[in-house]
Amino acid sequence: MRAVLWQGTNHIGVETVPDPTLLLQSDVIVRVTSTAICGSDLHLLDGYIPSMEKGDILGHEFMGEIVEVGRDVSKVKVGDRVIMPFNLACGVCEPCQRGLFSACDNSNPNHRMAEALYGATSASGLFGYSHLFGGYAGGQAQFVRVPFADVSCFPIQSDLRDDQVLFLTDIFPTGYQAAENCGIQPGRDVVAVFGAGPVGQFAARSAQMLGAAHVIVIDRVPERLALAEAAGMQTINYEREDVLVALHEATGGRGPDHTIDAVGLEAHGHGPGALLDTAEQKLRLSFDRITALRWAILSCAKGGTVSMPGVYGGLVDKLPLGSAFGKGLTLKMGQTHTHRYVRPLLSRIEGGEIDPSFVITHRAPLSQAPDLYKTFRDKKDGCIKVVLDPWA
Amino acid sequence: MPAVERGVVGALGVFLLTAGLRGGSAWQRLVLGGLGAGLTAVAVTGSSPVATAFKVRQNEDGDVLVGDAVTVGKPADELYAIWRDFAGLPRLMKHLKRVEVLDERRSRWTVQAPAGYAGGEVSWEAEMTADQPGRRIAWRSLPGAAVENSGEVLFRPAPGDRGTEVIVRLTYRPPGGSVGALVARIAGQEPSQQLRDDLMRFKREQELGFHPTTQGQSSGRAGSSGQNAGRGGQA
């Protein structure tokens, strides 16, 4: 089959590799019909997530049709059209029972590697996202092996297009959880979203769905800001205005009640803090560039929430913890417990509340993945979201 | 720090110190002399900086202590029964090749020997020193064991109906003292790593009934062992 491979920092390839096979009887094989490039894949492209190996198959946003099932699979069958959360969960351990699927105890076979970097307990497995997170082959390919199939596969019965349900695998639940984590008081709270990429777009729309009185979106890319404006949000271009001053004014001096950092570890930003971050990251003194997180903390109103769906990998420097402490902020973060949100958000899509395909700007065959990774990263050609067809 | 290790470190220290004093460039004298003085001091004080710097836990007799814990979503009685069946332990602890039960208290344990060790395996006899159903099992090696060791496993109900906390503590005297333990760790054969893997395997076997794996999955690496199943993938 054809698959998108990580061949080193800044080097993505598309090659023919062996078809996947069932490795355990709880697995299924899915013929992938649509697969997307996620903003977090760009951290792999840029080499900021440790433990990638040359030849790893990328991709954690994909859907398709089941073509083979293991003996122990009981809830799905050959022919089912399914979507799979990007993270893997066993469904039986205590965190899974509590709905904390991304904290699954059992899905990461490389638990020891994760424990060495992240401390006492291991992170869950992820599709196509480094060996630290299990080393599972991803779904930017014609076929993919899906472990824990009874827990992982969510059948889609309605006649919605792939485009409309594909993002239930990651970015829609990720944006939604970020908004939910804010504990928005409907009709009262103002929410600021840093980063108008796909996750930021979904976080902002989710904040609206959860009743935010006002949503402000911060970015520097005009077409991304325009997409947010089209949905009735206020926007701030941080290259034209001082973000902190603009947010101060937009909220009558209170600051947004909640701020969402939908940027993560490769924040651009400007000013001395951003320069220092870049220097430290280049020198490997710090993993993460945190301009967006700094703004999110500094701008947030007293008693508010800083919600962090953006990915962080390691250690950060110059985190304004004193500000967070002084204002009594709540920080919420982490991988999305995607499994929790698939069905409720699918109902919202079916009910016409939202059509997630609004973020798609590029559709292409799998073979164009290497170019499109860079187009997406460099925000060229108006690129906001890329969907690949593995069979085109 | 055991006497033998102290002797070896001390001899090395004195040797380097002498070499350092004899001559060479100023740098060589400084480095060799400094290293030699350091090692000599270690031998004299008898406390190993290797052990503390690399977190090798040791007791006063120089035995290495290894412990780990895992919470398993099953009742204590069930988990105890699995551990109490010594003959079945090699399924839980990967480094064990077999355990033969000799009588009520005694058993014979066999492990894969480290590379280069004649015979390919090491065996010793052990006796059970405590057996409290549903709570604790303890054992120790009988005199004559190549690697003196002892251990215990505790079963403790986890708060909030989360199953059972399984705590394993092992004590052993590694050939080569703390330095030997460190070398073994670097070689990936150190018991604390082995124990972590074993406990996670145990948890997953109990909770899932299988072990998650990516062994044999397809990739773009040479030797990727996924089969070309002929599903019509475009070449």
Q: What pLDDT digit, counting tens, does each position of B192-235 carry? A: 778 888 999 999 999 999 999 999 999 999 766 555 545 644 43
Most confident option among A130-134, A297-301, B40-44, B61-65: A297-301
Mean pLDDT of A22-40: 97
Q: Among A264-278, A304-318, B36-50, B212-226, name the one with the lowest average pLDDT.
A: B36-50
Query: What secondary structure, in 3-state letters, does A23-63 show?
Result: CCCCCEEEEEEEEEECCCHHHHHCCCCCCCCCCEECCCEEE
Mean pLDDT of A343-351: 97
- Nearest residue in B to A17, CA atom: B220
Degrees to nearest 5, angle at CA A8 with A36 and A43: 50
Mean pLDDT of A51-73: 97
Q: Do A5 and B220 touch (CB under 8 A)?
A: yes
B158 vs A270 pLDDT, higher one? B158
Q: Do B227 and A18 touch (CB under 8 A)?
A: yes
Q: Which residues pair with A190 in a beta bridge?
A: A214
Q: Do B219 and A57 touch (CB under 8 A)?
A: yes
- Which residues of chain A make contact with B73, given a CB cutoff of 8 A? 92-94
A112 touches chain B (CB under 8 A): yes
Q: Which residues pair with B126 in a beta bridge?
A: B107, B141
Chunk chain B into consecutive blocks of 10 residues (it has 235) and report each block's average pLDDT, rounded to whole numbers: 67 72 71 72 64 64 86 97 93 86 93 68 92 97 87 96 94 70 58 85 94 94 62 46
List strands edge to edge, sheet with B57-58: B57-58, B64-72, B164-172, B149-157, B136-141, B121-132, B106-112, B96-101
pLDDT at B93: 81
Q: What span, in angstroms and rounded, lies between the C-alpha atoms of A287 and A307?
A: 20
- Which residues of chain A make contact with B228, given a CB cutoff of 8 A? 18-19
Q: Do A21 and B214 touch (CB under 8 A)?
A: no
- Which residues of chain A make contact with B227, given a CB cutoff of 8 A? 18-19, 21
pLDDT at B233: 43
Q: What span, in angstroms and rounded, lies between the C-alpha atoms of B90 and A29?
A: 33
Pairing mode, if any, of strands A234-237 and A258-261?
unpaired
Nearest alpha-carbon partner for A366 in A68, A75, A15, A114: A15
Nearest alpha-carbon partner for B220 in A7, A110, A290, A202: A7
**B interface test, pick of A105, A126, A150 with most B CB neighbours within 10 Å:** A105
A32 touches chain B (CB under 8 A): no
What distance in Å separates residue B54's CA from the closest CA in chain A?
A: 14
Mean pLDDT of chain A: 94
Token pair in block for residue A392: 């085109």
In angstroms and rounded to an integer, the radius of gyration of the C-alpha atoms of chain A is 20
Checking if the pLDDT of A342 tops 80, the result is yes
pLDDT at A118: 82
Alpha carbons within 13 A on the beta-carbon side of B100: 6
pLDDT at B231: 60
pLDDT at A117: 80
What share of chain A has pLDDT > 70, as a percent? 97
Using pLDDT thresholds of 50, 70 and 90, give the confidence band for residue A336.
very high
ipTM above 0.90, yes or no: no
Q: Do A15 and B220 touch (CB under 8 A)?
A: yes
pTM of the model: 0.86
pLDDT at A70: 98
A127 DSSP 8-state letter: B
pLDDT at B187: 54
pLDDT at B235: 38
A29 vs A118 pLDDT, higher one? A29
The residue type found at A187 is G
Q: What span, in angstroms and rounded, lies between the C-alpha atoms of A238 and A271?
A: 11
